[in-house]
Amino acid sequence: MTAAILTDREFSQFQRFIYDAAGISMADGKQALVSGRLARRLTHHRLESYSDYLRLLQSRADPAELQVAIDLLTTNETYFFREPKHFQLLRDLALQARDKGRVLRVWSAASSSGEEAYSIAMVLADVLGDAAWEVLGTDISSRVLQRARNGHYPLERASQMPHDYLKRFCLKGQGSEEGTMLIERALRQRVQFQQVNLNETLPRLGQFDVIFLRNVMMYFNLDTKRQVVARLLSLLRPGGHFLIGHSETLNDINDTLSVVAPSVYRKDKQ
């Protein structure tokens, strides 16, 4: 079978598909990425064109394939302890919670393969130990969530991790697993992962003290950003903190929060 070519019209249709499915605005320069990531799915289903594959997705006849396509078209790049100032703030908030005897609940709302959620958990485990604390990681991609639950990563992802955390919370791969690391079981069991589409009505997740929504708004248009942020803020406790990527801003998106520092916001107490 001759390899299919993704036409400009088909690419535009996939741009609409991923926007409708996940609220993601895919840039025009991503045509090679789309064709490369979806080519194997055409071969798998013995389809002759990307239009045939899109029709399969739009028919909803195979929900599992719909999820596969979403997984392949959502970019997931992250590493441990990205933007260290956020984790210093989290440490300070954990110390305050410990002094007040409060449960601290933290949500990594676009957790990808779990590095952010486990970074959060390491800080809370260090400060709060066996006390009551909760970390939830959510993502639209079932594929990366399974990787997150496994907690198995290339060692280079930990280049920003404090060395004592690496020794305390991670197992270094040996033999055939050399060059990798595994999050130790006790910490993995303290982190919950759940599939959530931020572009839809949120499930009942409860209220959180801290919400991380970092380096994901760049994939949304302005209207989608406003809707997603509003949904998340409805689950942030008064006085809670909302963290975004250092290159992102909430200007023109939401004006109900107080700015604590660049990329750090606080929900005013009622």
Is residue 82 within 8 Å of 116, Cβ to Cβ?
yes
Catalytic residue of the set 105, 139, 188, 209: 139
Distance of CA 110 to the CA centre of its chain: 2
Nearest alpha-carbon partner for 111 in 185, 27, 195: 195
Query: What is the C-alpha separation between 242 and 227, in angstroms, rounded?
Result: 15
What are the tokens at 110? 């676009």
- 139 classed as catalytic: yes
Measured between its terminal Cα atoms, the distance across the chain in Å is 63
Looking at the DSSP bridge assignments, the partners of residue 139 are 195
- 82 classed as catalytic: no
Report CA Rg, the chain.
20
> What 8-state DSSP symbol labels residue 149?
H
**Residue 215 is which amino acid?**
N
Relative to beta strand 104-108, strand 133-139 is: parallel
What are the tokens at 131? 């006390």
Residues 18-39, buried b or exposed e (16+ Cβ, 10 A)? bbebbbbebeeebbeebbeebe
What are the tokens at 145? 């969530």
Which positions are annotated as active-site residues?
A: 37, 139
